[in-house]
Structure 1
């Protein structure tokens, strides 16, 4: 809720905290505040913010809180307790975030003076390196690329640990305040306890202090910005027109406009003091004659006669006499000699190898070709310059070279957009071509190498930088990358991180180091293109074992050989290679639900048959003379030939191998 109090403290905005919508309680609080303000005249706008639709805005953050009660709204609830966790917005530090943000968007634009930030006291070192940004109503916060023009504060992590309470000057029109912290690859810190690899949000309160957008004051918001200010926006502390003036002709932040012939002095318009050329008006900001003085007048404001001139209206110039003496009024000779590098007697010509009639011949001739003498008035070298110097003065280097103290022998680096470097320092003013290191742009940035710095370093161990000329990693590679450049996998490994093992390529060849494919095929019974698993119908570490008779011709498990969906009816699981007796297979099929062990039945029957056979043999021995012929006949007619039964078994042997598969090979997904 917002009240505008307009009695003894006019236009001061008060934010009244309410825990519910009880208007009677709210009115009582407002009456109490009116009495207090009548005496104290509270001065600044306190803009608390809450998550959702809060009192003055909406607060949220990039990641969820560690607990629901540690949400973004806690930063703007007015409670500055720095140790009670339920009063702070806290993310889960164990998540190892690389980049986080918290922001509050106010309901409208304010003239924000400063922020009061209260970090969690016991863990404030984790905030090292943080940034604060402010955004106007029409500006949009981009978490991936915040505009540096919106930056209001950055804590330098190499300057020590941040304080747990921080006042940050804003002095901007703003509707949104943003906190950001990042842990980039090259992040460094001198703060003990700061983690270089992860960051978080642990903020207990952010107070946004300021006035309505058209007001200011260092102690209360009862001053309106001057109407001379553009859009009536001004400095939050002193009211100066820092955003420009309503009158485009105004030249100062006080927005004073003077007529021609006057200039601003001590915030007032006063007459120009000197004599400008052609009667032109002086500069309205400085009072000086920007285009020079009239008729050899001189001085800062063209208010005195130029020393060294003689004749009517000071229009005849003396030579450069020593000691600033006047020349002879008749001959123009300097009786006491010349000053500087002028040539006697008239002191109106420079000595050899000097030039500059308007500067006491103070100019040294440049690097003229064949050591010739330059023009004494202009300094030009009539015969041209020495190599790599720029004419006509031959004092600075040609584009593409720098450092005249070394005869312009140094070449510029790789400046951005083929620009030339500064011909004195060699710095590339507008930056470097991509991946070259500023300011000289002559060597690669860390992480790149080659003549044009277009090749990224490989995966050097310990994140070390490779040689910027040839890309060599002098202290070795990350595991499984190949020296010396560490930019491809060692034989036997593949993928971007070289963490995957090659399969069983034919002749133990190395696989493709990007895809893992075996270009010339697999070892026997391995499945292309990766050759990591057996072809259908084979299993085992070397895929040299043939699968059994799995149900419906399905392939077995390629590691264990087991038929996961069961066997054909005449073989035993799980490998489906051992043949089951056909006599009892049908009985077992008809009584699947009976938990009976048929092996005991078979053993029992065989025992009975054996007993009968033994008894019969004893009987035959006793009756051999009489019934020899009949015994043979009876034996043939009454019993099965067990040997013949075994040899004429209807099932195929499980040890036979077949190279023909009943399944098509399905493409593998890597």
Structure 2
């Protein structure tokens, strides 16, 4: 048996390669065995192929190389990740996976159906032709046109724009909308309406009327009471005029509302100020009333005391009656005594 250091010159342990046997063999090598020098697999697992076992055998694709390539791929070779044919299709087949037997498919949705056809074709097998007036392509399921050629409209572009539509200056631009046929650049003289299929009134000057309403643009030749002859200051009444009037009315109403609100707030403030002033006056009066009552009581007490003094003086002088309005001169500067107490001096 050869020594280990001698064996390592020619072989590495399982799963390793390189001069020092430090590198890993490709994961799809059979039994993880690969050549020591460059790491090429001796054999691959499953349907893998190649020196490093990193591609699929012819006819297989996918992460684990278990999916079969489309059977109509040329040489049965397809991309390992997507399954798209590497070298095109067999004769009379088309699509990135050669899914349908025609030359009209571009992208396949499966191995047997198409999801995108060449311009002018539709259906899962791309064998039906789009309507002749479609511009470019149509829906793959319904055949509805994505757009129409000039002066045609409708789902299948089988309807023509009105001859009364005003023509575009560019020949490449549609005169009417491809979806519903409404005239895009107005009507020819004498016609109005979305499709320019209505005739302006004979009362209109030069038979000119507005496309939206039919109202005469230059006024009328006779009666001014007709609805189509509505004018404003000598000019035709336009929708924009009514919109302007409506906008003005809204602005005026808003200003009126704001002014009214401000006036109400001002009046309310003044009313509150007056109420507060009245409350302060009532409080001041309530505070002064007890002092006034006390002063009145003192005056009444003094008056009663004066009357008692007058009565005492009258008794001392022997007067039978005494009026409290006057006092005799002899009573002036006299000291009044009640018992042994000096009561008061009265000076009149």
Shorter-chain-normalised TM-score: which range?
under 0.3
TM-score (norm 2): 0.26
Higher helix share: 2
Higher strand share: 1
Q: Which has the higher contact order (CA 8 A, sep 6+)?
A: 1
TM-score (norm 1): 0.16
